[in-house]
Structure 1
Amino acid sequence: MSFTRRQVLAGLVGLGVAGLGAGGVRYWLGRPENIATHDYELIAAPLDLQLVPGHVTPAWGYGGQAPGLELRCRQGERLRVRFINKLDVQSTIHWHGIRLPLEMDGVPYVSQAPVLPGEYFDYDFICHDAGSFWYHPHTASAEQLGRGLVGPLIVEEREPTGFRHERTLSLKTWHIDEQGAFSEFLVPRQAAREGTRGRLTTINGQPNPTLELPAGQVVRLRLINVDNTVTYRLNLPGGEARIYALDGNPVQPRPLGKEYWLGPGMRIDLALKVPSPGEELSLRNGPLRLATLKGVASSEVAGDWPPPLPANPVAEPDLARAETLRFNFEWAAALASPADEAAGRYKYWQINGQAWDINDKTCADRPIATLKKDGHYIFVLRNMAQYQHPIHLHGMTFKVLGSDRRKIIPYFTDTYLLGKNETARIAFVADNPGVWMFHCHVIDHMETGLMAAIEVV
């Protein structure tokens, strides 16, 4: 007898694997020999923030903070996280950029049942790749990410890298008004365009902070865009900075240059040579200041640029034998009927003529493409609109080959910022079986159609 994925998920709920109140045996999954373990208990719960002085914002956080608790483990180690849901709504955790088994991917009705209020779920997986990653729900994403359910996951390299200092900087723009109250996370007419933008930009939950860094040292800055919508045009006028990794994957170090466009879901690791004591640099989004980086006296000998970071163990696609598939990302406003809009079922975007229905739990049963396990593939990504789409693939890492809009030095990533009217080529080895989400990480684009399922069998 064969079973559908839906029946398997229903069976898991019946066994009580997902919740505190459902009964059944509770246990940590087996611990392999010779693999160190980092255990975390990650609680999602309401949290009052003071983002606007004198006013309270009713946020949601992980571990009593928003953005959430920074999780860390070392490359090759098993990460075990018990997620406890103390919200009044169901939720999950997706581990953005991590190559893991499908059942740990955190997509409700695809890889697991939703974690209901008062219940918990044990996430357990090996972190194969070192780098800067992050975590967030894949349930009612516009609201849940918008309220603060985001957090960094740092996977440290197996051996010392030469960086003696580092800081993790989570970039988020909040949908709040001047009194700190939340505004709408998804405005239909904006979702059909660039996405619904917030009003107040923060780093690690603080508007325009001053970050003190040891003068003369080379500091690793891990910048993570955990925002629903905003693409940050990162620049450091007068600063000496080099790019060491993009989206968790090392690159040959090179100068930051004039600016780097960091779309939602994307990450960049910079090496910054900190200026003399008392000197300041401005980390900016275009012309707007995000933070002040200030050199403070240090007793250490001035540092030098570390060597390139070691490559992650990602399979190299064989382009000579790769199969090519094409994907068009386009408007689909005509698909949204008055009845759909009245019910909040907006369909403004589509991939290859198919608009994902965020309210339909069976969409993943109809994948847009079925790939052979260990097959080699080239995806041609064509943006047929004037708005940017950070395209993210779950479960696997792909290599960006080229673009018709800009020069590309090929690199591995899990999220590519597809510019307006741009066509780009990516390639990868489909080495992770399962049904994986393939979507834009502008959250209200995703929730209004710009998502599909890719099956690897």
Structure 2
Amino acid sequence: MSFTRRQILAGLVGLSVVGLGAGGVRYWLGRPRAGNSHDYELIAAPLDLELVPGHQTPAWAYGGRAPGQELRVRQGDWLRVRFINHLPVSSTIHWHGIRLPLAMDGVPYVSQLPVLPGEYFDYQFQVPDAGSFWYHPHITSSEQLGRGLVGPLIVEEREPSGFVHERTLCLKNWHVDEQGAFGAFSLPREAARGGTPGRLSSINGVHAPTLDLPAGQVVRLRLLNVDNTLTYRLNLPDAEVQIYALDGNPVAPRPLGKEYWLGPGMRIDLALKVPAVGTELSLRNGPVRLATLRAQAALEPVAAGGSEWPPALPANPVSEPDVASAETLRFSFEWVGSLSENTANGAPRSYWQINGEAWDISNKNCADKPIAKLQLGKSYIFELRNMAQYQHPIHLHGMSFKVLSSNRHQVIPYFTDTYLLGKNESARIALVADNPGSWMFHCHVIDHMETGLMAAIEVAD
């Protein structure tokens, strides 16, 4: 797949996307021709953060924040973001969970060239689905995400959702020591197992914060796992809380229960009925407190209806797969080799593979050999099989899929873009191949992805 540097630099009027065959596009970027426009200028640059009191951490940030500036757009509208790279390295932006044209997907050498230091790139696309999404680079990902290049993208429903209050909470562990200095973002021994964990938990960049919420009101909590590695066992003891959406897609409201396992890249929208003034609730990862939620008297008169459970959110316009006629494809996610075997002769480390094939992040042409070729408009069932004892949050770019069943637990079918495949689990998902292009299919434990657990899936006529 070939690109020219001129394709990185926007500035011409209009938008045109012309197919060049399997997976390739040329594109010229400008203002959208139709629909409403939400314009953002998003600068990625170094930023010193005080993650550890009294110490500075040399982070990288979007819009002067880490996690980055919250972007908002209404469902069905255009989002137009000029990404400006003031980092010392090349970067891109991938819009996690958004169904968009391939040219806007942010994968180097698949949809675009890397954006070099000092350059900019204009991303613009219509957003078909409402929900909680996020954005991050898709190049040298363990370091770039690890240093803080993550941010929330909130797509508001076309009509009022019924929620009067909401908060966005980005969950991230930082790979820092007691002095705030970064350690390794990926260690070979950890990458070959569950992934390299960070040591300092945070919500919106703050360790163990206290968050004030309006007493007696129902608050929509948008929780986004923007961590490199960690799966959170989310729980809110002694709270009245309902699940309203998973990974950007609405579900029939139901109690959170004992806990919910939220893997890297995954999101969950909760409705919390905040208790009486002065009451404190603990948002936890298993037994570990992530934040204190404190009920506070409202500083302003509360809006009517803010204390009632809202109705279920409207479904997103995702194509329903025809399961009865769907073709079945099987994907095995496997651990392979040993540490010594995979680091010989300076070759890229490869500890993981899909159907016997390991992705080589140093090979710019890997996507030219897709692991599967899907016919545009056809329904498919993917049988996912985890051959290892470690969890894999399996993420698909460009399309949403429906989770049908698992051999480990009961599933209420729902649409998503990321499924947490447990150790030795087999699961069935279904989709309509309705978005042409070459799409990444990978584990969102970042150092699993970078050591082999990624592939390309091609959708074409």
Q: Normalised by the size of structure 2, how large is the TM-score?
A: 0.94
Distance in 2 (CA, whole Å) between partners of 1:306 and 1:388 is: 34
- Deviation string 1:284-331 (CA, Å, 9 cap, x unpaired) is 000000000001112426610000000000000001110000000011
Q: State the match for 2:335 in structure 1.
A: 331
Q: State the match for 2:399 in structure 1.
A: 396
Q: State the match for 1:359 in structure 2.
A: 362
Quick one: which amino acid aligns to residue 324 of structure 1? T
Quick one: which amino acid aligns to residue 160 of structure 1? P
Secondary structure of the equivalent of 1:386? coil
State whether structure 2 residue 326 is matched by structure 1 residue 319: no
Q: State the match for 2:279 in structure 1.
A: 279
Distance in 2 (CA, whole Å) between partners of 1:359 and 1:274 is: 49
Secondary structure of the equivalent of 1:364? helix
Displacement of 1:214 in angstroms is 0.4
2:410 to 390, 407, 410: 407
Q: Is the 8 A contact 1:83 1:123 kept in 2?
A: yes
Following TM superposition, the consecutive aligned residue runs of length 4 or more in structure 1 with deviations greater than 4 angstroms are 24-28
Q: Is the 8 A contact 1:19 1:118 kept in 2?
A: no
Quick one: which amino acid aligns to residue 403 of structure 2? V
2:313 to 298, 309, 315: 309
State whether structure 2 residue 237 is matched by structure 1 residue 237: yes
Q: Is the 8 A contact 1:336 1:345 kept in 2?
A: no
Displacement of 1:31 in angstroms is 2.5
- What is the root-mean-square deviation of aligned Cα atoms in Å? 1.4
Q: State the match for 1:198 in structure 2.
A: 198
- Deviation string 1:212-240 (CA, Å, 9 cap, x unpaired) is 00001000000000000000000000011
State whether structure 2 residue 407 is matched by structure 1 residue 417: no
Q: Is the 8 A contact 1:128 1:313 kept in 2?
A: yes
Q: State the match for 2:32 in structure 1.
A: 31
Distance in 2 (CA, whole Å) between partners of 1:341 and 1:260 is: 40
Quick one: which amino acid aligns to residue 103 of structure 2? E
Distance change (3 Å), C-alpha of 1:344 and 1:148: farther
Percent sequence identity is: 72
Q: State the match for 2:21 in structure 1.
A: none
Displacement of 1:332 in angstroms is 1.5
Q: Is the 8 A contact 1:47 1:60 kept in 2?
A: yes
Quick one: which amino acid aligns to residue 425 of structure 2? E
**How many aligned residue pairs are there?**
442
2:441 to 417, 438, 452: 438
Distance in 2 (CA, whole Å) between partners of 1:434 and 1:63 is: 30
Quick one: which amino acid aligns to residue 126 of structure 1? Q
Quick one: which amino acid aligns to residue 293 of structure 1? L
Distance in 1 (CA, whole Å) between partners of 2:372 and 2:446 is: 22
Distance in 2 (CA, whole Å) between partners of 1:79 and 1:196 is: 34
Q: Is the 8 A contact 1:336 1:347 kept in 2?
A: no
Displacement of 1:343 in angstroms is 2.9
Secondary structure of the equivalent of 1:310? coil
Secondary structure of the equivalent of 1:353? coil
Alignment of 1:65-80 (within 5 A): 65-80=65-80
Q: State the match for 2:372 in structure 1.
A: 369
Q: Normalised by the size of structure 1, how large is the TM-score?
A: 0.95
- Deviation string 1:249-291 (CA, Å, 9 cap, x unpaired) is 0000000000000000000000000011110000000000000
The runs of 5 or more residues in structure 1 that have no matched partner are 1-5
Secondary structure of the equivalent of 1:197? coil
Alignment of 1:115-126 (within 5 A): 115-126=115-126
Displacement of 1:43 in angstroms is 0.4
Distance in 1 (CA, whole Å) between partners of 2:347 and 2:257 is: 43
Displacement of 1:342 in angstroms is 5.8
Distance change (3 Å), C-alpha of 1:191 and 1:335: closer
Alignment of 1:126-165 (within 5 A): 126-165=126-165
Alignment of 1:214-253 (within 5 A): 214-253=214-253
Distance in 2 (CA, whole Å) between partners of 1:296 and 1:436 is: 46
Q: Is the 8 A contact 2:188 2:339 kept in 1?
A: no
Alignment of 1:33-182 (within 5 A): 33=34, 35-182=35-182
